[in-house]
Amino acid sequence: MVPIGGEMEFRTIGIVGGGLMGRSIARELAADGRDAIVLELSEARVRECREALEADLDLELQKWGITETDKRIALRRIRFVASVEELSEVDLVIESIPDLMESKRRVMRELDGVLPKDRVIITNTETLSISEIGQASGRPDKVVGMHFLYPVAQTELVEVVRGIDTSDETFGVARHFADLLGKTIIEVFEYPGYVTTRAIVPLLNEAMYIVMEGVARAEDVDLALRHGFEMRVGPLEYADTIGLDRLMASMDHLFHELGEMKYRPCPLLRKLVRAGRLGKKSGRGFFVYDGDGNRVESGGGAR
């Protein structure tokens, strides 16, 4: 990290995980003029993620969301690698793999083996314990949570989550980094679900129960909540967007941690996940989507 006027400039950021969220964070960094090195498990995954990034950019290009120049800049600034040693000289690392504790702990141990001891590691998680993840890093005072909400570029808010050992200095680094990206931050003290996930999950769950009980169709539930409460997107389409399997995992974790029935996944959600209807990424969830992720018709998920 390069000190600028007593603060830090982040020129190159390491990202662990090239999935949807990892790529979204990488694109945000590239648009802000920073380089991103994205670590994946294998050369095969590197190729897949690079192709997925190009597809993401082409879709935005078709929708006039970016220009050809924006696409070229992103492809030049984002590099995919399969060796953790490639992250040894980055200014900051963001871990953004799926919310599985053992996988995150393994990544933390690997990062500790290659990063200088003064490097801060950010873990992007919706529900997991920052303290437990930090213990595996060998530097728990240097680990902090940042819960980015999808889509990263369009969502201003980020939760910066303190683990029990997170130092004030580390929290300050995360705050400064979020400021550079133009994000609005809230400080969160570790607790299952933090603020946004804990608040939104009961709403999503209740919307699913309304459909399951035959009170209204999925499209009408979303229409009612969008127009009645000025929501940008309805709760069921939002659930499809983040992935029904990912949502169910978050609910299961909160239900296990807190034991409150409002977090127990609706049986309809379990039914859809078991049927492989995971939302936009599979083309069908509560609604049906085309190859570009545009909603085309009801998914008939209430049955």
pLDDT digits (tens, 9 = 90+) for 60-91: 898 888 999 999 999 999 999 999 999 999 99
* pLDDT score of 40 more than 80: yes
- Look at residue 3 and tell me whether its pLDDT is greater than 90: no
d(CA 195, CA 200): 9
Query: In which band, very low, low, confident or very high, does the pLDDT at 7 lie, cut at 50, 70 and 90?
Result: low
Q: Does domain 2-189 have CATH number 3.30.565.10?
A: no
Nearest-10 Cα torsion for 94, 100, 102, 105? 20
Average pLDDT over residues 150-179: 93
* Pair 289, 280: CB distance under 8 Å: yes
Percent of the residues in the chain that have a pLDDT greater than 90, as a whole number: 86
244 and 269 in contact (C-beta within 8 Å)?
yes
Q: Could you tell me how many residues make up the chain?
A: 303
Mean pLDDT on 158-169: 97
Q: pLDDT of 174-221, one tens digit each?
A: 999 999 889 999 999 999 999 999 999 999 999 999 999 999 999 999
Q: What angle do CA 258, 208, 151 make, to 5 degrees?
A: 80
Q: Please enumerate in sequence order all residues whose Cβ is within 8 A of that of 211, keeping only pairs 6 or more positions apart, or say none.
A: 217, 218, 221, 236, 268, 286, 301, 302
Q: According to the model, what pLDDT value does residue 299 have?
A: 47
Residues 28-55: what's their mean pLDDT? 96
Domain map (residue ranges) of the chain: 2-189, 196-298
Range list of β-strands (E), 82-125: 92-95, 121-123
Q: What is the mean pLDDT of residues 251-276?
A: 97
pLDDT for position 156: 92
Q: Bigger pLDDT: 229 or 154?
A: 229
> Helix (H, G, I), strand (E, B), or coil: what is residue 264?
coil
Average pLDDT estimate for 17-41: 95
- Provide mean pLDDT across the span 95-118: 96
CATH class of 196-298: mainly alpha
- 2-189 against 196-298: fold identical: no
How confident is the prediction for the chain on average, in pLDDT?
93
Q: Contact, 96 vs 15, CB < 8 A?
A: yes
Q: Tokens standing for 219?
A: 């499209």
Give the pLDDT of residue 114. 97
Q: Which pLDDT does position 292 carry in this prediction?
A: 80
Please tell me the pTM assigned to this model.
0.88
Q: If you average pLDDT over residues 31-54, what whole number do you get?
A: 96
